[in-house]
Amino acid sequence: MKTGSAAALAALLAQPTFAFPGEDKSDEEAGPFQNLPRARPNMLDWETLEDWITPQDQVFNVSHYGYPEVDLDKYKLEITGLVDKPMTLTLADLKKRERDEQLMTLECSGNGASPSFMAAIYNSKWGGTRLGALLKECGIKKEATEVVFFGADEKKEKIRDVEVEVPFGRSLDVESALDPLLLLAYERNGKPLAAKNGSPVRLIVPGCYGIANVKWLTRIELRSKRYMGRFMGRDYVTLRGKRNSEEIVYDESSVLRMNLKSMIARITRKATAGGSIPCKAYGAVWSDGTEIKTVEVKVDDGKWQPATLDKEPRSKYCWTFFSTDLGNLKPSKHTVVSRAIDVNGRIQPTAEDDEIALKKTYWEAYQQWPREIELKA
């Protein structure tokens, strides 16, 4: 992890829980957003979010092939294909290896696609062993170009009129798989993985959407041919229109790296004074690891104003909390929205911008999301 000195990193890993430091609960009251359902169980509750590391009861899970039952005592992870020395490892074998930790925010690529699905994100401290070290031990043959990760979850799929039983799978190119940050995780926040989150072992790929972080991992296979399973070549493929002179052309791309995104988590108010209501906004911003330059917040049709990014906790692949004073607002309905800007000048788009408006699939939902509130005197 490239987030500063070793001592600072150790301190960050040792202290996983933080609240919004700028919020004064003695005289700030959070109000509900308008026209939005309350958070469902086992999903992030933006309106009560306090912890930088997400508690287990607010951790989402998505499964495309159901939830497999994996016997921990019989569990084995196979590393095979174009390697010099294939391996088969038990959970105990993995735990005997050097243990490492990785801080990372994990988001579903469809998070924010609709008002009822805006809480599929969480921040964690993962524990496990580094993938790259294992692959190097196995000896990667020179003809290998891809590393495919298969889970224990399986389903019958009809492919070209042929029905076959296939496991869930995703792949990375060899160079990406050897990134020293990738982890074979068997712990979250110092505890064994929950079954719904991929127990006993899952892949952790910092900066990539949840779909790439394969759960219930059972087999790692090195290949010389492109893997084109359902969740690489058919689903989790973004169809986006682009303007080419006077026409719109469409392009398909596989979902992988997380996009720049921010979200207003909650808005607080103080007691009405002189006919106006002092308000503040709190939220979170994240990316694929690209440094965030700033977050700006706008009320109604006003000007964009810079928010304050929390100086700590910080980690490259984790969300950063922010806050801003909205000033004194009149009792009425108001719209509050945030936008993130990274160090490369990229600005989080609106829903009307071409890259969102011309997108025909719901994956990669990273548009600005206006929040509506109603203030009463």
- Classified as helix, coil or strand, 189 is coil
* AA identity, residue 269: R
pLDDT tens sequence across 56-96: 999 999 999 999 999 999 999 999 999 999 999 999 999 99
Cβ density class 190-214: b for 16+ within 10 Å, e for less: eeebebebbbbbbbbbbbbbbbbbb
In a domain, 127, yes or no: yes
What phi and psi values does residue 73 have, to the nearest 5 degrees?
-70, -25
Quote the CA–CA distance of 203 and 77 in Å, as a whole number.
12
Q: Residue 141 — pLDDT band, cuts 50, 70, 90?
A: very high
> Is the same domain home to 305 and 217?
no
**What does the block give as tokens for 38?**
């309350």
> Is the same domain home to 63 and 184?
yes
In a domain, 25, yes or no: no
pLDDT given for residue 6 in this prediction = 45
> Is the same domain home to 86 and 217?
yes
How would you class 274 by CB atoms within 10 Å of its CB: exposed for 0-12, middle for 13-18, buried for 19 or more? exposed
pLDDT given for residue 173 in this prediction = 97
- The candidate with the shortest Cα–Cα distance to 217, out of 188, 193, 181, is 193
> Is the same domain home to 336 and 266?
yes
Mean pLDDT, residues 233-262? 94
pLDDT given for residue 140 in this prediction = 98
Q: Residue 12 — pLDDT band, cuts 50, 70, 90?
A: very low
Mean pLDDT of the chain: 91
In a domain, 20, yes or no: no
Higher pLDDT residue, 48 or 60?
60
Mean pLDDT, residues 122-150? 98
Quote the CA–CA distance of 54 and 32 in Å, as a whole number.
21
pLDDT given for residue 250 in this prediction = 95
In a domain, 146, yes or no: yes
pLDDT given for residue 13 in this prediction = 43
Residue 23 has pLDDT above 80, yes or no: no
- The candidate with the shortest Cα–Cα distance to 214, out of 167, 246, 163, is 167
CATH code (residue 182): 3.90.420.10
In a domain, 247, yes or no: no
Residues of the chain with pLDDT > 70, as a percent, come to 93
Residues of the chain with pLDDT > 90, as a percent, come to 81
Higher pLDDT residue, 358 or 14?
358
CB 375 within 8 A of CB 332: yes
CB 257 within 8 A of CB 176: no
Enumerate long-range contacts of 270-273, CB under 8 Å, 24 or more apart: 270/27, 270/28, 270/29, 271/27, 272/331, 272/377, 273/328
pLDDT tens sequence across 350-376: 999 999 999 999 999 999 999 999 999
Mean pLDDT, residues 88-110? 97
Lowest-pLDDT choice from 3-7, 149-153, 252-256, 321-325:
3-7
- The candidate with the shortest Cα–Cα distance to 1, out of 131, 179, 181, is 181
pLDDT given for residue 22 in this prediction = 60
> Is the same domain home to 147 and 213?
yes
Report, in angstroms and rounded to the nearest whole number, the Rg of the chain calculated over CA atoms: 22
In a domain, 35, yes or no: no
pLDDT given for residue 2 in this prediction = 39
pLDDT tens sequence across 179-230: 999 999 999 999 999 999 999 999 999 999 999 999 999 999 999 999 999 9
- The length of the chain in residues reads 377
Which residue has tokens 């509050």? 336
Residue 20 has pLDDT above 70, yes or no: no
Residue 318 has pLDDT above 50, yes or no: yes
Q: Provide the domain count of the chain.
A: 2
> Is the same domain home to 72 and 165?
yes
Of 178, 213, 229, the domain-final residue: 229
Mean pLDDT, residues 164-190? 97
Quote the CA–CA distance of 305 and 339 in Å, as a whole number.
10
> Is the same domain home to 93 and 224?
yes
> Is the same domain home to 102 and 177?
yes
> Is the same domain home to 79 and 220?
yes
CB 259 within 8 A of CB 365: no
pLDDT given for residue 312 in this prediction = 87
> Is the same domain home to 293 and 188?
no
> Is the same domain home to 301 and 206?
no
In a domain, 82, yes or no: yes
Mean pLDDT, residues 325-344? 96
pLDDT tens sequence across 116-130: 888 999 999 999 999
In a domain, 8, yes or no: no
> Is the same domain home to 154 and 222?
yes
CATH code (residue 343): 2.60.40.650
Q: Residue 48 — pLDDT band, cuts 50, 70, 90?
A: confident
pLDDT given for residue 21 in this prediction = 59
The parent domain of residue 155 ranges over 56-229
Residue 11 has pLDDT above 50, yes or no: no
